Amino acid sequence: MQHPTSADILRVREFLLDLQARICAALEQQEQRGGGSAQFMIDDWQRAEGGGGRSRVLQDGEVIEKGGVMFSHIDIRQLPASATQRHPNIAGAKAQALGVSLVIHPKNPNIPTSHANVRLFVAEPEGQEPIWWFGGGFDLTPFYPDNQDIKHWHQTAFDLCQPFGEHVYAEHKKWCDDYFYLKHRDEQRGIGGLFFDDLNQWDFDTCFDYIKAVGNGYLDAILPIFEKHREQPYTEAQREFQLYRRGRYVEYNLVYDRGTLFGLQTGGRIESILVSLPNLAAWSYRPEWDEHSIEKQLTDYYLKPHDWLAEL
């Protein structure tokens, strides 16, 4: 297996920083088109153990209530359990991890919450060759689902996967459905997308090309959804439902998300680790929805795995 050189890791780092900047610029443009002036603040930080990152956060906008687009490149002296569960042979090894991770919580309930992540992990177990893999994906969490949006989201995912193999979309879509699942609620976090980890079955450059396609694909997938719903009116009841459903997002990220657990177990920067949580969320005791309402359809139909491209 081809192992990444320092120059390879630098190429990945440069792409990730550029991706972060482009995503923030595109989302700030959505904010401006919606009549807002909020911008992503830049917060550069260093980590005592080695490495650091650039956090970019926008809060209290007219279009985006809270958005975090985070870059990090950290050194790890001793790998924690969350990183070695599937790779017990690298327990305790030193490593480095770099990636961009984002969560965007729009203010309008008609615009879904979205998440994307692309990352590279390189471990150096003592006496062994370096072990590396890429991971990432993107997924969508609507509150008031729009069938055209869902089809567009998955069509974008399907199209970007095609150059890498006929079965990549189906495999990474299923992985996404399986991963973003709230077992204690028996529901998906949203309508899915792509998710992958341990990606090293191709040569390094092909794997790198794939995460570039995924990172760039996020913008292709999300921007038309913002454009379509940015000015759409909504009611206070819809806003309350959005906050209620955001509670599920919080539950997932704090109970199941491996990235959150990895950050906590490696002594990461807590503001960056928890930036995915919305400023406002709500929990109601046993709320009930009309049998024919879109709120009821969300959990009864949309938050179940489907072949969206075939069904819609």
Q: Report the catalytic residues.
A: 115
In sequence order, the β-bridge partners of residue 115 are: 103, 139
Check the CA dihedral 267-270-199-302 and report its sign.
positive
The values of phi and psi at residue 254, to 5°, are: -90, -20
The whole-angstrom separation of Cα 19 and Cα 5 is 21
Find, among 154, 149, 155, 132, the residue nearest to 202 by Cα: 132
Q: Which amino acid is at 50?
A: G
The single residue listed with the structure tokens 């650091």 is: 52
Helix or strand or coil: residue 43?
strand
Q: How many other C-beta atoms are found inside a 10 Å radius of the C-beta of residue 302?
A: 20
Q: How far apart are CA 15 and CA 9, in angstroms?
A: 10
Stated length of the chain: 312
